[in-house]
Structure 1
Amino acid sequence: MQLTLDIPEKYLIFQSPTELVRLLKLNTDIDLYRQGRFSASAAAEFVGDLDRYEFLYECRQRGIEPQTYESTDELQAEIEMLARELA
């Protein structure tokens, strides 16, 4: 799927369109991760040029702590969700 955004030129003074797209994707990822809607691996894949550890580093730079699971059931549910996505 592809989305199109109209961004006024004045917002591209300090960065290229490619840099702005990456920043928008990364910030969206971090917010979805913080909300528990993306795993670290899924978020890193969404950005496209990060691995899981680089993504977690970016989160840490913004004060977002790594997600933890309150129960093994919660962890198992995420594993099953990821397995379905990869199938």
Structure 2
Amino acid sequence: MQIAIELPNDFVNFQGAAEIRQEVAISYALWLYQQGRVTLSKAAELAGVDLYDFMMTCKRNKVPIIDISRDDLIAELSGFDGG
């Protein structure tokens, strides 16, 4: 499916259509991931990048990749045998 949005010509000329297309795809994928509507791997696919690149994009945009509280993490790790 294709969705069209209207942008001022000078904006498109300044950045280029391909770059804008990529930025919109990444921004939308980040938003969907933040909302919990898609998985990390699905968001990477929607953004058109590999998983590692999407994880780095999340980091640059301060979007947590692991969404677990400190207490939950401690509880989870306490079940592991240290030996």
Query: How far 1:13 moved relative to its partner?
Result: 4.0
Instruction: Flag structure 1 segments of 5+ consecutive residues without an equivalent.
Output: 71-87
Matched residues, number: 70
Deviating above 6 A after TM superposition, structure 1's stretches of 4 or more consecutive aligned residues are none
Larger Rg: 2
- The residue number in structure 2 matching 1:25 is 25
Q: Report whether the alignment pairs 1:39 with 2:39.
A: yes
Q: Which runs of no fewer than 5 residues in structure 2 stay unpaired?
A: 70-83
Deviations 1:5-55 (A, max 9, x none): 12111212431101001001101110110111111111111122x111110
| Cα RMSD (Å) | 1.8
Deviates most, 23-32 or 60-69: 60-69
TM-score of the pair, normalised by structure 2: 0.73
1-side partners of 2:37 and 2:68: how far apart? 13
